[in-house]
Structure formats: C-alpha cells, structure tokens
C-alpha cells in the first residue's frame, strides 16, 4: 500500500500514487514518482538528522534507543490484525518482525552507550549515525507511519531544523546586507546551548528527557484521534 497514516487523524491516509498516470503503460512508472520521492525524503532526512545530532557524548544514542523502542511497540501493533483493527491503524502483515529489528537496535545502542556516555571512550561517527537514522526511516515507512517519526524523533528534527534555519538565514542576510547574521550562536542546536553556558552533561540529559516525552506523545497518538 502507498497510503501513509497521519497522527491524530483516524481517517486521513493520503495515497501517494498519481492515479491518473496508472492507466497508460507508458506513464505507469511516473505514477510512483511522488511515492518514491517521499520515501527518499523520509529515509535520507532521518539519516542525516541523526548524523547532525551526533555531536556530544551519548546525545544521539539514547534518542535513537527511545525512538527504536517506540517503533518496536508500533510495529508489533500494526503487525497484529486484531490490535490494528481496534486502534484503527493500517494493518501491515509481517510487520511484527520489525519488532525484532528495533529490539536489536535498542540492544546495540545500550551496549554502545555503556562506552559512549560522557566522557566517551568510543564514538559513533558517520558510519553509525547515518545507518541508525536510515534504519529508523525505513521502519517508519514499512509500517506506514513516517509522520510519526517526526514526533518520536523530534529531537533529530529540531537539530536538523536548527542547521537549516542557520544556513538559510545566514545566506539571506549576507545577500541583503553583505554581512551574514546567525539565529543561533552555533548550529546544530546542542552547540547553541553550549555557547549559552550549559554544561555538556546537562544538555545531553535534557535532550534525553525531551526524547522520552516525545516518545510518549507518539504512542499517545494511537488513541488521541
């Protein structure tokens, strides 16, 4: 199915297919352009957002664990016909297997966090952050809940938005005035708070708390509709 579930709305499931192009064999592949473009946006966006968050010891690891735990629960629910019918969410046969994948991400993340917490002995780097973010994006797409990733992975969204806002505003002001100005002291967002004088450990723990709150909100959307 190319329909995607929208949080807080029970009967809003936009279909990303262009039906008018499916009737002709020559235009049939073009009917999937919006669908595949959206998939790329979700997966690549999630991958890079986690990568941008990975700037302090343990900062990206715990939100990934929390988001993976959230999607482990949701994957199990959408994989069960009875639960998905009761909650009014799309049923995806076999999606329960993704619970195992999410659980593996949680276990690997916890084992890694043992050595990655401040002061870190090992570092994630692009190899880990890009893969973990991409994994979350793929799971979100497979269970038809990509918009829920924006909530459950809200910390990653904030970090990515801070970079986009900083770059766009800097270039805009440089073109208008000749001198680039910044919205934040430094981007991504966690570096802005460092410049504000907050200790690294306090920033990390507060981001973890925010991740937990957003995960609860994401799970709450299953009933708050």
Q: In this structure, what token pair is assigned to residue 134?
A: 């991409």
The reported pTM is 0.91
Q: Is the dihedral of CA 133, 134, 139, 145 positive or negative?
A: positive
Using only C-alpha atoms, the chain has a radius of gyration, in whole angstroms, of 19
The pLDDT of residue 119 is: 86
CB 132 within 8 A of CB 34: no
Using CB atoms within 10 A of its CB, is residue 136 exposed (0-12), middle (13-18) or buried (19+)?
buried
The pLDDT of residue 78 is: 93
The pLDDT of residue 88 is: 85
Digits of tens for pLDDT over the chain (225 positions)? 788 888 888 888 888 888 878 888 888 888 889 999 999 999 999 999 999 999 888 899 999 999 999 999 999 999 999 998 888 888 899 999 999 999 999 999 999 999 988 888 888 888 899 999 999 999 999 999 999 999 999 999 999 999 999 999 999 999 888 888 999 999 899 999 999 999 999 999 999 999 999 999 999 998 887
DSSP state of 120: P
Of 7, 176, 161, which is closest to residue 87 (Cα–Cα)?
Answer: 7
């Amino acid at each position: 199915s190319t329909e995607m579930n929208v949080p807080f709305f029970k009967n809003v499931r936009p279909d990303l297919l262009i039906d008018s192009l499916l009737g002709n064999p020559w235009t049939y592949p073009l009917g999937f352009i919006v669908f595949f473009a959206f998939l790329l946006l979700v997966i690549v966006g999630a991958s890079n957002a986690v990568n941008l968050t990975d700037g302090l010891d343990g900062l990206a690891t715990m939100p990934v664990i929390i988001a993976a735990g959230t999607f482990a629960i949701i994957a199990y629910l959408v994989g069960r016909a009875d639960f998905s019918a009761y909650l009014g969410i799309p049923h995806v046969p076999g999606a329960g297997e993704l619970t195992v994948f999410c659980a593996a991400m949680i276990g690997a993340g916890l084992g890694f966090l043992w050595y990655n917490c401040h002061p870190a002995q090992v570092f994630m780097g692009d190899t880990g952050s890009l893969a973990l973010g991409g994994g979350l994006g793929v799971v979100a797409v497979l269970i038809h809940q990509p918009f829920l990733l924006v909530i459950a992975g809200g910390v990653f969204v904030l970090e990515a938005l801070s970079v986009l806002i900083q770059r766009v505003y800097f270039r805009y002001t440089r073109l208008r005035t000749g001198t680039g100005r910044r919205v934040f002291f430094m981007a991504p967002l966690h570096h802005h708070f460092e410049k504000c004088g907050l200790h690294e450990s306090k920033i990390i723990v507060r981001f973890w708390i925010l991740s937990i709150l957003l995960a609860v909100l994401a799970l709450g959307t299953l009933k708050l509709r």
